[in-house]
Structure formats: structure tokens, C-alpha cells
Copies of this chain bind each other. A is one copy, B any other.
Amino acid sequence: MKLSSLFFFVVFSFLSSSIFAQTDTISKKKFHWGKAQSDTSAGYAQAILVDNVLYISGTVSRGTTMAEQLKGVYTGIERTLQSYGLSFQNVVKENLYTTDIEGVKQNNEVRKAFYKGDFPAASWVQISRLFMPSALVEVEVIAHLPKKQ
């Protein structure tokens, strides 16, 4: 093999591997609170849009009572949805983690008001604790956007 051929082979290999590497990466549109792209301390983004699917992280809130935290959690999810031009109508799946499932059941009206009668598929479980020791409830959702024609 001539040196010139070798040169082109190396360049070609480099270019094609870059191209293949590129084709595997995806386009993501992140949302996080404030100006950040993500929380680099804990290491997560509040939400990621890929294709027409929006994944929203487990969302918590301040407040001492369950009613306060539920209101804060769903308000946070609503703000996240709105940043993509969406509403709770777009939410298809909800996972709720709480340290007090009876407390959630007793304050469910606070949560239900956000859905306006159009409820998602959901799973609720009572777990031992959440990321922040003071958090009583954490909710993650999946929302879909209309597909582009």
C-alpha cells in the first residue's frame, strides 16, 4: 500500500467513524429550573423531550403538609409542561412515590384538579424515603406531543 493510499484510508476511517458515531446520537430538548440546562450537582434535568415524548423527572416541592407538597409538585409539573407548550392533557403516565400513601389519598382532590377529569395511567407506591428527607411525595410523568405530519 502506498503512503498516499494509507493516508486516505486513515482519513476515510476517521471520517466514517465520526459519521457513524453521529448517527447514533439523538436530539434532546432539555428543560430545567432557572437558566440551567440541568442540575449538575445531583446530575439530572427536570425534563427531556426526544422525538414527540417528554420525560419529566420525579418532581418534589417544599411545604410541610401533604396538601402543600402535592400542590407544589403538580404546579412544578404544570410549569414544566408549559415550557414545552403543553398541558396535563398531554400526560399519559404518572408514577407517584410517597412516604404516606394514605396522606395522598386524603388529599387527592388537590392532585385531581390539575387533570380536569382527563386522567392518565398511573401507579402509586409507598416507599421508605425520597431524595430530600423532607419530601413526602414525588411525581414523575410521561407526556406525548402531537406527532408532526
B-contacting residues of A (Cβ < 8 Å)? 20, 23-28, 38-40, 42-48, 50-53, 55-58, 85-87, 89-90, 92-95, 97, 99, 101, 105, 108, 111-112, 115, 117, 119-131, 138, 140, 142, 144-147
Minimum CB–CB distance for A107 against chain B, Å: 12
Residue of B whose beta carbon sits closest to that of A104: B131
- For A125, the chain B residues whose CB sits under 8 A away are 58, 97, 127-130, 138
CB-based contact A90/B145 at 8 Å: no
Q: How many copies altogether?
A: 3
Question: Once the chains bind, are A43 and B93 in contact (CB under 8 Å)?
Answer: no
> Please, which residues of chain B bring their CB within 8 A of the CB of A112?
43
Smallest Cβ-Cβ distance to A80: which chain B residue: B121
Given known A-B contacts A108-B42, A144-B26, A122 and B58 have beta carbons under 8 A apart: yes
Interface contact A56-B121, CB-CB below 8 Å: yes
Known: A93-B48, A126-B130, A144-B50. A57 touches B121 (CB 8 A): yes
**Residue of B44, B93, B94, B146 touching A26 (CB-CB under 8 A):** B146
CB–CB A44/B90 < 8 A: no
Q: Which of B25, B111, B126 contacts A43 (CB 8 A)?
A: B111
Not counting A24-B89, A42-B105, A57-B123, a sample of 17 additional A-B residue pairs whose C-beta atoms are within 8 angstroms of each other reads A20-B85, A24-B90, A39-B119, A40-B117, A43-B108, A44-B122, A48-B121, A51-B144, A57-B121, A58-B123, A58-B124, A58-B125, A101-B129, A101-B131, A125-B127, A125-B129, A126-B127
